[in-house]
Amino acid sequence: MGLFSKLFSKNKSNSEVPKERTALNIKVGDIINYNLVDYEVVGKITYRDGNYTWYAYQLLEGYDTIWLAAEMDDELELGIYKKVQLPVSKPFPKQLTFEEKTYYLEESGIAKVIGEGRSQNIHDSNVHYADYSDEDEVSFLSIEGWGTEFEVSVGYPIESYEIKITAGSI
């Protein structure tokens, strides 16, 4: 084989260079360092509502589970969420109160989901969602309706420099 044949060959070596991880391409098995704690990504949910896509990553450290939410709107938006107990039902209300703070409905809809890792049991499902923010937009509530069950999470925004992503695989 000549030099040019080797350079332009379609055969690639088995040692691929890992793609740099960003908040929009995290994979199950990656490690996320947040607030000086290393979390393993054990689940990933990709949400699609029309042409809009966003992600939620289930992060586990010991028995502590948090969720990292990531979406590209005009700019990258990240948030940390933790599940809470708050009774809700449909139709989703225009405002909710949690721990003496009032949250106002920002948007709601139905998204198709792709589940990976611990979230694979919801793969190819539809979720009814509603996002709320407080008056100062420093705290958020997220509701997800899975059939007759509802999950509520409270969260807050973070900046991309607050997390470090270590690829667990290619």
In angstroms, the CA 61 to CA 97 distance is 29
In angstroms, the CA 33 to CA 162 distance is 8
- Does pLDDT of 17 surpass 60? no
pLDDT at 54: 98
Report pTM. Answer: 0.87
- Residue ranges per structural domain of the chain: 24-166
- Does pLDDT of 9 surpass 80? no
Stretch 141-155: mean pLDDT, rounded? 95
Instruction: Strands of the chain (E only): list them.
Output: 31-34, 37-49, 52-61, 64-72, 76-84, 95-98, 101-117, 126-134, 140-146, 149-158, 163-166
